[in-house]
Amino acid sequence: MGQTPKLVQRHISAFNDHDVDALLADFAPSAAWVTGDYTVPEGQLREFFTSAMETLTPQLTLRRAIDGGNVVAIEMTEKWTHDAAARSADLIAVFDLDAGKITRARIYREGTADP
């Protein structure tokens, strides 16, 4: 299983702590983030996560992780607040890994994150 469990725990902890620096430490410099039909432009992950952390205050709860070596699938529940309303959705994150770094993240969300 290697480093995958540690990477998953670091990712979730950094996300829940709203620590963008720690979150980005596990991403390759040219990593891609795809959620729904939206792809974060290369080089803009910091801005993307900073904005989300400030406006939505998201929190993740790990349900399970499936380690496929260079690919890991993570089943989670995400809770966040938008316009003072609490929201929740189940999601799957699929991370492609290379040399211990996330090179691509594809997020599959049940329902929508839109208000």
Which band of pLDDT confidence, cut at 50, 70 and 90, is reported for residue 2?
Answer: low
3-state secondary structure the chain: CCCHHHHHHHHHHHHHCCCHHHHHCCEEEEEEEEECCEECCCCCHHHHHHHHHHHCCCEEEEEEEEECCCEEEEEEEEEEEECCEEEEEEEEEEEEEECCEEEEEEEEECCCCCC
Residue 90, beta-bridge partner list? 77
Q: How far is 82 from 47, CA to CA, in rounded Å?
A: 18
The arithmetic mean of pLDDT across residues 82-104, rounded, is 93
Is the pLDDT reported for residue 87 higher than 50? yes
The arithmetic mean of pLDDT across residues 95-100, rounded, is 94
CA nearest to 92, candidates 105, 110, 74 = 74
Q: For the domain made up of 4-109, give the CATH fold.
A: Nuclear Transport Factor 2; Chain: A, (3.10.450)
The arithmetic mean of pLDDT across residues 86-107, rounded, is 95
Length of the chain: 115
17-54 per-position pLDDT tens digit: 999 999 999 999 999 999 989 999 999 999 999 998 88
Is the pLDDT reported for residue 90 higher than 60? yes
